[in-house]
Structure 1
């Protein structure tokens, strides 16, 4: 559970902003989406390989320009 301590002088909007930042850093939402359905290890490995190939191709194009 995330806890955000709100100081006396602090604006509530500022505290909400800190909460959102902390929430995104913990990547809870990403984990929930991944656990929604089971993926076979071979499928996960294939997706990782495709992402890596895409990244390599993208970086190669960036360096050539």
Structure 2
């Protein structure tokens, strides 16, 4: 359970924004979406490798 302590005089929008950030970091929504459909381990591995290649290319371009 996520607990967001409100500071005295804090805006409710700011507290809601902190809650949303904490909730997203837990990864609940991401896991729910991934569980909607089964993906084979080989497909997961392939997408993982593609993502790693993409990140390496972006880092090379940055340098």
Root mean square deviation, CA, Å = 1.8
Paired residues, number: 63
Q: Which runs of 5+ in 2 are unaligned?
A: none
Tell me the distance in 2 between the aligned counterparts of 1:39 and 1:48.
12
- Structure 1 residues 9 and 61 mapped into 2: Cα distance closer, same or farther (>3 Å)? closer
- Structure 1 residues 7 and 62 mapped into 2: Cα distance closer, same or farther (>3 Å)? closer
Q: Which runs of 5+ in 1 are unaligned?
A: none
Higher relative contact order (CA 8 A, sep 6+): 2
Rg (Cα) greater in structure:
1
Q: C-alpha displacement at 1:10, in angstroms? A: 4.3
> TM-score scaled to structure 2, two decimals?
0.75
Q: Render the CA deviation track for 1:12-62: whole Å, top value 9, x for unaligned.
A: 323322221211111111111111110000000000011111111111121
